[in-house]
Amino acid sequence: MTRLLRSATLWFVMVLALLAGVILLGAAAWLQPALDAQSARDRGDADAALTYYRAGEARVGRTPMSAQVFRAVGETIQANQLRLLYQRSEHDELIEKAEAGAPTFESHFWTGCAFFQKALAEHKNPDTRLGWFRRAEEEFRQALEANPEDWDSKFNYELTRRLLTQMRKEPRLAPPELRKFLRPERDAQERPTRRTG
């Protein structure tokens, strides 16, 4: 009886190990587009990376169960796509993708960056520019709520708030003046002197 129990236990463990191996191989094949996207991104091929990320995103989100099981992978794919879209200055597509996806720290951060760039690029209509800055401020605020320790979000939020304050005082401030406000020139008297000796 004991021998039979040991034999059955051994068979059960072997079948369980085989099943776990098959599941892991299936998951690796299922997630292959995300791995290919990472390789393409590392090579500097942004077009291929975006194509693979889109394929991986479609695969992960294909069913509610796969979206739940691979949720962290889906969020990583989305964050990497948003980063690539920002680097390529495809701000409208970035905003659309972030708004269609799950609200995460990365989606708020990259959307805020895209709105900020759209505001800086707006030369004709000060009201439109002000609207873009307001939306950027809101996205950076939400990014900070999601990750209060992120230094980039803190910096971007504070910078956007300072620009909004300045624009409320001077609504017709042109982009070149805005850039000067972003990087103020120091007076010669304010520059620190170098001590020697």
**Mean pLDDT for the stretch of residues 170-194:** 65
What does the DSSP 8-state code read for residue 149? T
Question: Residue 30: its pLDDT value, please?
Answer: 61
pTM of the full predicted structure?
Answer: 0.73
Q: What is the pLDDT of residues 5-59, one digit of tens each?
A: 677 777 777 767 776 676 666 666 666 777 777 777 888 887 888 887 788 777 7
pLDDT digits (tens, 9 = 90+) for 120-175: 888 788 888 889 999 999 999 999 999 999 999 999 999 999 888 888 888 777 66
b/e code 168-178 from CB counts within 10 Å (16+ = b): eeeeebeeeeb
